Chain A
Amino acid sequence: MKKANHSESLTRIVLKSGLIWYLSAILATGAGLLLIFEHFIEKRFDQSIRNQLYDLVAAAEITPNGNVTLAWRPSAPHFNQPLSGWYWQIISPNGEVIEQSLSLYSDEPLPLLRPDFIGQYHWQEINGPLQELRVGLQSIRFAGSDQPWQFLVAGPSADIDNDVAGFAKLVAGMLCVLGIFMLASLWFQVRQVLKPIHAMGDEIGRIRRGQQSRFEQTLPRELQSVGDELNTLLEHNSAILERSRLQAANLAHALKNPISVIQNELNHLDADSAKVMTEQLDKLNQNAQTHLSRARLSGAINQLASQTNVSESLSDILFSMELLYKQRGLSLGFRCPPDFYFGGDQHDLEEVLGNLIDNACKWADSHIYVNVEEGDHQVVLHIDDDGPGIPESARDTIFKAGKRLDETTEGSGLGMAIVTDIVTLYGGDISIEHSPLGGTRIRLALPGGRQGESSPL
């Protein structure tokens, strides 16, 4: 349940609730408008029937013999069109139709409805010859006659329905446009509101890639506190890392200086007593070094995953090698696209590269070459030398996880142990192959890729 909530997008939530509210509002408005319009149209229709009825009454006059005749006949054309739905009739007190509109079109005039002779104007709906009719009725007593004559005018009630339906269509169309416009504006607003959140995501990505160290954008007031908190966290994080590295460095200093002094002083002792002490001192030194480099590593894990430019680190390391091995006159070269990055800490990458290339320099005859390629979400480095190479039987043992080459061979085993630690930590891969240069090729695969390729969120 909770997971589903998390994965639902804010845009969808807002649009969904917006849709419900807007739809209800639009439907209510539409219904209200229709009611008002229908009432208005009915009133107009009734008014028109009533006017025509009064017209008819005005045209009627009573003859001396007590009959009613029309001085003129209503002239509106729809009263002449057969079965148009617009009719009029005059009914005598005894219920006979004495006059009616041409539109009724019948040989034997029949009352449209049973006369009721109610004196007041009123109306009712009936089924006419062709369609439903709305009929306005009034009975009149003429002067000199005490009998009521019923006057009647009818119009098709479909006229009202047609008008209302037409209006409803129009209103529905307009409300649809309004609804679409409202939803569009809602969507646009949500996007505007979410923009700083996306920008924040982008910034976190840049921080992750090591392109910046803190939030720099001015965020909206509602998000500012989040940005501030994250900045504090980042600062706290790098402060802890800095402190642990500083402590490791201080400890290294504190341990190594005395070890160094004792070691050199041992040279003045006679060989037998110096031997045991030298062995113990070497052990102490190696242990100290291993744990100190581990301490630096575990510091690095705490950091937000960062990115390190591979070619910059490579050129730094090779520059150092050139100086450190100047005596040997080695030729060092590398090829690496400038936008390749390693998905981790600079210190860690440089420890791996430094130890591996240092080893290559120790064994190489004259040439060391480093080639960097792109792998599947990885950077793949080939470190080649033209030295004697490592026999196939010995290759496996060197990098086997947990295999420590502690059997003191010039301390080089320690470097390899650190390399293995770091490569394992980052889920990388390292192997030994035969180099086209004639010596050893170390194949090193580490997480990474091209800069700007991976999207931050």
Chain B
Amino acid sequence: MRALVVEDNIQAAEQITQALIGHGFAVDTVHDGNDAWFQGDTEEYDIAILDLGLPGRDGLSVLTDWRRGGNKMPVIILTARDTWREKVTGLRAGADDYLVKPFEMEELLARVEALVRRACGHASSILRCGELEIDTATQRATLKGAHLDLSSLEYRLLAYMMNHAGEVVSKATLTEHLYQMDFEHNSNVIEVLVNRVRKKIGTQHIQTRRGMGYQLNEKG
């Protein structure tokens, strides 16, 4: 899962970024409205955390432009603006959730979690695929009830595949959703990563669809 953090306060941005990385996200962080719009418009994100009072241009206009351009990524507004009129304006502009500063990091993570899950169409934080199971809230993965020891990148891959179980996911999409933007695109890295995960969960689960990508299946 890949997240965009838009926050002009450097320390706050760093805190949120670290928390999200710790929660299994690949995170891009920008500090200004124009960068935010460009980043959200050109890259694929599973969630955006958007501050409203930004240098360059206001977060609201960034959000409005994203939505006008047909961008459907879940957006959670995280701001100091706490009147109900401001909340209504933000939500009417197309935000999916609204959190007022100061906030508890736990609260933010829970809401991010819920939004991502909802966007993938899952009701619970526990995802199952045959004997595979992950809890996105605790980032624990199990196979037949036994704990799987995964690196954070491996977890990210598995979590993405579980969220899109049954779908064919291209290497490009995987690259987009697993790595932050400074990553150098190289399809070999994905192949290596997929093979590492296959070794841990059994090769049958992730099948290669030649020329199209990978598919996670129940039977294994």
Contact = CB atoms under 8 A, between A and B. Distances in A.
Interface of A: 249, 252-253, 255-261, 263-265, 267, 281, 285, 289, 293, 296, 316-317, 319-320, 323-324, 326-327, 346-347, 350-351, 353-355
A256 B102 contact: yes
Given A320-B98, A324-B97, A257 B80 contact: yes
Contacts of B98: 320, 323-324
Contacts of A249: 81
A340 to B, nearest CB: 19
A225 to B, nearest CB: 36
Contacts of B97: 323-324, 326
A320 B91 CA distance: 6
Nearest to A289: B82
B84 A317 contact: yes
Interface string B80-121: 111111011001100111101111110000000010001000
A167 B92 CA distance: 84
B91 A323 contact: yes
Given A261-B15, A326-B114, 18 more contacts: A249-B81, A253-B53, A260-B101, A264-B104, A293-B83, A296-B83, A316-B88, A316-B92, A320-B84, A320-B98, A323-B96, A324-B87, A326-B118, A327-B114, A347-B83, A350-B85, A351-B84, A355-B84
A451 B101 CA distance: 38
Contacts of B9: 257-258, 260-261
B13 to A, nearest CB: 10
10 contacts: A252-B82, A257-B9, A261-B15, A289-B82, A316-B92, A320-B91, A324-B91, A346-B85, A351-B84, A355-B84
Given A259-B102, A260-B103, A261-B11, A353 B83 contact: no
A256 B83 contact: no
B192 interface: no
B12 interface: yes
A257 B53 CA distance: 11
Interface of B: 9, 11-12, 15, 19, 53, 80-85, 87-88, 91-92, 95-98, 100-105, 114, 118
B32 to A, nearest CB: 15
B15 A252 contact: no
Contacts of A347: 83-85
Given A257-B9, A261-B11, A323-B96, A252 B102 contact: no
B102 A320 contact: no
Contacts of A353: 84
Contact of B15 (A265, A317, A320): A265
Tell me the dominant secondary structure on chain A's binding face: helix
A354 B114 contact: no
A316 B85 CA distance: 9
A252 B82 CA distance: 9
Given A257-B12, A326-B118, A319 B81 contact: no
Contacts of A285: 102
A293 B80 CA distance: 13
A238 to B, nearest CB: 15
Contact of B88 (A259, A260, A320): A320
B92 A354 contact: no
B91 A253 contact: no
Chain A CB count within 10 A is highest, among B85, B91, B100, B114, for B85
Contacts of A281: 102
B57 to A, nearest CB: 16
A216 to B, nearest CB: 26
Given A257-B12, A320-B91, A323-B96, A264 B105 contact: yes
A267 B16 CA distance: 13
- Which of B84, B97, B100 gathers the greatest number of chain A CB atoms within 10 Å? B84
Nearest to A327: B114
B50 to A, nearest CB: 14
A350 B83 contact: yes
A257 B114 CA distance: 24
Most buried by B among A256, A267, A317, A353: A256
B83 to A, nearest CB: 6
A355 B85 CA distance: 12
B83 A319 contact: no
Contacts of B81: 249, 252-253
Contacts of B80: 252-253, 255-257, 260
Contacts of B82: 252, 256, 289
A92 B15 CA distance: 147
Contacts of B53: 253
Nearest to B7: A257
Contacts of A257: 9, 12, 80, 101
Contacts of B96: 323, 326
Contact of A354 (B11, B12, B19, B87): B87
A349 to B, nearest CB: 9
A158 to B, nearest CB: 92
Contacts of A252: 80-82
Contacts of B100: 256
Contacts of B19: 264
A263 B102 contact: yes
A254 B22 CA distance: 28
4 shortest interchain CB distances as A-B pairs: A354-B84, A256-B80, A260-B102, A260-B101
A265 B106 CA distance: 13
Contacts of A317: 84, 88
A285 B100 CA distance: 12
A354 B84 CA distance: 6
A319 B93 CA distance: 12
B31 to A, nearest CB: 13
Contacts of B104: 263-264
A403 B114 CA distance: 37
A265 to B, nearest CB: 7
A267 B103 CA distance: 12
Contacts of B11: 261, 265
